[in-house]
């Protein structure tokens, strides 16, 4: 019997979590943020990446490589 959980996915990711999703280093993630390729927001003293920003980045990469 399968056990289902009603766990909500976070809307904002830590830089390290976003880097893991893309299988890149934290340093590379900060580089992409600095270049404006991935949108991030500041929450107090910490930086967070919207989950949608990761999806948008992937979509842009797919379109650029297809062109």
Q: What is the pLDDT of residues 35-65, one digit of tens each?
A: 999 999 999 999 999 999 999 999 999 999 9
Global pTM? 0.82
Where b means 16+ CB within 10 Å and e means fewer, 20-58 reads eeeeeeeeebeebbeeeebebeeeeeebbbbbebbeebe
Query: How far apart are the C-alpha atoms of 41 and 46, rounded to whole Å?
Result: 8
The pLDDT score that the predictor gives to residue 38 is: 98
CA distance 55 to 58: 5
pLDDT in tens, 5-30: 668 889 999 999 999 999 999 999 99
Inside any domain, residue 27:
yes
What pLDDT sits at residue 67?
78
Backbone angles phi, psi at 62, to 5 degrees: -65, -40
Task: Tell me, yes or no, whether 48 lies in a domain.
Answer: yes
- Whether 7 is covered by a domain: the verdict is no
Q: Which domain holds residue 19?
A: 12-66
């Amino acid at each position: 019997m399968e056990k289902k959980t009603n766990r909500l996915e976070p809307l904002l990711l830590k830089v390290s979590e976003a880097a893991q999703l893309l299988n890149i280093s934290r340093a590379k993630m900060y580089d992409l943020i600095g270049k404006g390729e991935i949108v991030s927001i500041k929450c107090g003293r910490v930086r967070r990446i919207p989950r949608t920003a990761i999806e948008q980045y992937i979509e842009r990469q797919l379109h650029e490589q297809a062109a």
